[in-house]
Amino acid sequence: MATRRPVKRRPLLVGVIASPADLRCALALREAPDLFELRLDCLIDILKQAERKMSILSAPAIITARDPREGGMGNLSARQRAELLLRFLPHAKLVDVELRNARRFEALLERVRKQRIQRILSLHDFKSTPSPRTLRAKAAEAKAHGADIFKIAVRIETPAALAQLVDLVIDKNLKIPLSAMGIGKLGAISRLLLARCGSALNYGSLQRTHVEGQLPIDVLRSALRRSNC
């Protein structure tokens, strides 16, 4: 019997909602992205408003409540982050939890699986570019924990580091869909190139950028329309 090949996924555009202004912009967009990401750790002051507006967003939602060790706001505890995710779970198409927290959030992730919500396990390194060997090992670890997508956001300061990340995105032997993006000196160009090379999820700003290298959503949309890596 022939081996069944995995279905190739189209790279998706994600609009990041991480402020009240982002939420207003998301609701007013003429052309919606494929998905919105709700950074719940950034929306603590408007949770009730965000919850009310979920049903009228023009695209499905990724929800995440980022760990402070990976750029999360408000210094929220693991328990507080889990409570936020559970609160917004009925509105979610995907849930993003840091790979380092996969065991701690195991019960929550199993509940997510049973509800047929996709699971993203993520790694954010704002200081360095992990080696390709390390990133492949992390991808395998994410797969072992049941992730549907492995997301990495790492510092990219040199062309060599960018080339390594491109090689990872186009690697047909990787056993899990990869969402990859750069932070830092070459962050912006990395996001354009990785989007065109097939990064599964590509995150753009709706108002101001929230991390170094993040691009406006319209710029990423144009890059995806020219995907040809």
- Which residues are identified as catalytic? 124, 151
Q: Are 210 and 179 in contact (CB under 8 A)?
A: no
Structure-token match 């993003």, residue found: 96
Q: Are 11 and 195 in contact (CB under 8 A)?
A: yes
Both tokens of 12, joined, read 């998706």
DSSP secondary structure string for all residues of 27-49: HH-SS--SEEEEEGGG-GGGHHH
Helix (H) or strand (E) holding 22: helix 20-28
Both tokens of 68, joined, read 């402070």
Strands (E), the chain: 12-17, 35-39, 61-64, 92-98, 118-125, 149-155, 178-183, 201-205, 215-216
Residue 169 to residue 22: CA distance in whole angstroms:
29
Structure-token match 């994600």, residue found: 14
Q: Are 93 and 60 in contact (CB under 8 A)?
A: yes
Torsional class of 213: left (φ above 0), alpha (ψ -120 to 50), beta (otherwise)? left
